[in-house]
Amino acid sequence: MKYFVLFLIQFQVFAHVSMEGIPSAQSLEEAKTSQIMIRERFIEHYLNEPIVAPPTPPKIGFAEFATTNLARLIAEQDLDLVTNNILDPSFGPWNPGTNFSLIGSLCKREGDYDFVLQILLKMAYIDFDRGETLLSEPARQKLWYDLLSQSGGNPYVYFDLPRCPINTRLDTENHILMTNIAKYLTNQLRSTREPLKDEYNNTKNGLKDWLLEHLSVFLREDFSELNSRGYEGYTQLTLAVLYDYAWDQELRTMAQMLLDYSYAKLAVQSIGMRRYGPFRRQRKVLKEDDLSFMDNTIKRGMVHTGNFDFLHLMGQPAQTLSGTDYQAFMAATESYKVPDMLVDLTVDKETPYWQTFENITVEMYYGSENFLLSAGGRFKNFTDDFGTGENDVLVVGTSIMPKDKEMKISSLIRFEDHPRNSQKRNICVYKNFACGFNLVIPDHIPESCSRKEGDFTFYDLKNCSTDYDFYLAVYNKRIRRSGSIAQDRALKNYGFFEVSEADRSFDSFVQNVLSNNQAHEYRREIRNGRTRAWRYKTTLGDTIDFSLDTPDAGTYPIAAINGQRVNRDTYSWNLAEGDIVNSLEEGLTSISHPKYEYEIILDARDPLNPKRVIQEKE
């Protein structure tokens, strides 16, 4: 009967965390107020939920355990219940790293304990920082020397599969980070009781230097679990744990720099805490229409920026989050603060920006006050996933995301390109211009929104039922098979579009587009067996020469901008280049905002001596 009750407590459905009465921030000043209110709301909410028993393999019930037990430790309430949970005889460690199964039970291991370690580290350090007054000594002893199972200086990189033909396997980015950060912070705690034991001295055992070297790679190459639904949030979480509790200033600085970089990317690639760009892991995300599906990062971003516009678009009652929202709760307990300029950029897109990133794929974003244009990316196959495709870089549609509208991918105006992901190449974007194949104008946009003028179709999306507050100019043609620009039957149409703020009359926008481009006839022109580049002048004043039939997925379809030839080899592009984030050299990154007079410099060129500098722009 005892275990039946435990099962019920572990899987109780909690009430939603209500955002009622908290404004979704639309300015930096509003953000500062909303952030405080959101943090307080999460702690208060989980204090009033029944405390949950410890998790079981593989991390079953860990989120409910974290929210209800940590809330009580932070508030110093029901400490006897928290202590009893730690001392529960059935609560013990299991394997950190990936929970893995292949060939039935032959290649199987129970993993994911490193997720639980992040919770236990926070519990241990909250108690430690308050003079070791919250937990009983037996609970503290079990927590430090049993439940915090990872210690010493040998870095965790591979997991074992003893009965499998492949008996070791490189673990994934988030597991390597969570496990080694747990080692470092556990050593740090134990060293306070056993100061002469070199095993727990992170300098002597080499773990401090290893971590600094390992973390510095992300500022040279970016994260490999790029925009990963689920996993990116866990990387941010463990970096925040390191930032909160590391006593070595070098590691605190490195963790802060990586969090700055991560939230700079989120600010660039989102509007109203929604984003749609290329990603790694997991493939099942491609089957979902919901923009928020498995995206823990936006839930963390909601807490750190005070903006949760996406909630009312999801039809949530009283703007609420789903119960036991672990990532948002954990963000609410962190001391890391997103820099003001990045909060400002996240909540207020009044200042337009253009940004690219290049690592294992290409990311391109143009942010404007009422829309975000995002490129779909470039496919990359990874061969370490037993042919499942789970580790591949996956491409999505090049899309326009309107402010305060749409939570479904199917509702976005977009170039889908090829239906087979390995054949997609959605990298034809420059600022407010995009080109590609298989244009989709969603069914909810009526024909009454459009006007045909010559080769162009114009959409007055401000004054029709969509109420988007931007205009669209489209050139789109059905593909004919004979001598066509594309022979693949999966490609149905081709063309380009320009999206523009509705800051003038629709007639003025139409005339501007036509007068800018009246001298050029858009048709397929073949010379010497090759398609001639097209030219389009945007209402922003940029003249773009481009060609849709690039020789490979890595060739940028845009050949020249304003008469200047561009580097079309996207594989050779800088890690980051644009109005917000710039890779100045390997390991040296700047973060800025067009309307701010200062910039943040992230310097990991010497991994053992990272430097974060705030300076005036040159």
Task: Give the pLDDT of residue 14.
Answer: 73
Residues 50-93 pLDDT 10s = 999 999 999 899 999 999 999 999 999 999 999 999 999 999 99
Task: Confirm if 581 and 264 have CB atoms less than 8 A apart.
Answer: yes
Buried b (16+ CB within 10 A) or exposed e, 252-261: bbbbbbbbbb
- Helix (H) or strand (E) holding 37, with range, is helix 28-47
Taking the C-alpha atoms of residue 300 and residue 332, their distance in angstroms, rounded to an integer, is: 8
Better-scored residue on pLDDT, 366 or 492: 366
Q: How confident is the model at residue 487 (pLDDT cuts 50, 70, 90)?
A: low
Q: How confident is the model at residue 142 (pLDDT cuts 50, 70, 90)?
A: very high
Average pLDDT across the chain, whole number: 92
Exposed / middle / buried, residue 305 (Cβ in 10 Å: 0-12, 13-18, 19+): buried
Q: What is the DSSP string of 182-236?
A: HHHHHHHHHTTT-TT-GGG-TTTTSHHHHHHHHHHHHHHH--SSTT-TTHHHHHH
Task: Give the pLDDT of residue 519.
Answer: 65
Task: Confirm if 77 and 129 have CB atoms less than 8 A apart.
Answer: no
Percent of the chain clearing pLDDT 70 (strictly above): 92
Task: Give the pLDDT of residue 520.
Answer: 66
Nearest CA among 11, 2, 134, 133 for reference residue 65: 11
Q: What is the 3-state secondary structure (H, E, C) of 44-108?
A: HHHHCCCCCCCCECCCECHHHHHHHHHHHHHHCCCHHHHHHHHHCCCCCCCCCCCCEEECCCCEE
Q: What is the DSSP string of 558-590?
A: EEEETTEE---BGGGS-SEEESSEEEEETTEEE
Tell the CATH topology of 2-21+34-344: Glycosyltransferase (1.50.10)
Task: Report domain extents, the chain.
Answer: 2-21+34-344, 360-559
Residue 423: pLDDT over 90: no
Task: Give the pLDDT of residue 485.
Answer: 54
CA–CA–CA angle 334, 113, 301 (5° rounding)? 30
Residues 526-580 pLDDT 10s = 344 455 679 999 999 999 999 988 888 899 999 999 999 999 999 999 999 999 9
Task: Confirm if 187 and 205 have CB atoms less than 8 A apart.
Answer: yes
Task: Give the pLDDT of residue 502.
Answer: 98
Rg over alpha carbons for the chain, rounded to the nearest Å, is 26
Percent of the chain clearing pLDDT 90 (strictly above): 77
Task: Give the pLDDT of residue 7.
Answer: 39
Cα–chain-centroid distance for residue 528?
Answer: 44
Helix, strand, coil percent values for the chain (each to nearest 5): 35, 20, 45
Task: Give the pLDDT of residue 275.
Answer: 96
Task: Give the pLDDT of residue 320.
Answer: 81
Nearest CA among 296, 281, 558 for reference residue 429: 558
Amino acid symbol at 24: S
Residue 279: beta bridge partners? 394
Task: Give the pLDDT of residue 2.
Answer: 37
Task: Give the pLDDT of residue 440.
Answer: 98
Residue 180: pLDDT over 50: yes
Better-scored residue on pLDDT, 264 or 483: 264
Task: Confirm if 593 and 345 have CB atoms less than 8 A apart.
Answer: yes
Q: How confident is the model at residue 230 (pLDDT cuts 50, 70, 90)?
A: confident
Task: Give the pLDDT of residue 220.
Answer: 97
Instruction: List Cβ neighbours of 605 (8 Å cut-off, separation of 6 or more).
Output: 585, 586, 587, 588
Task: Give the pLDDT of residue 9.
Answer: 45
Q: How many CB atoms lie within 10 A of CB 541?
A: 8
The total number of residues shown for the chain amounts to 618
Task: Give the pLDDT of residue 565.
Answer: 97
Residue 104: pLDDT over 70: no
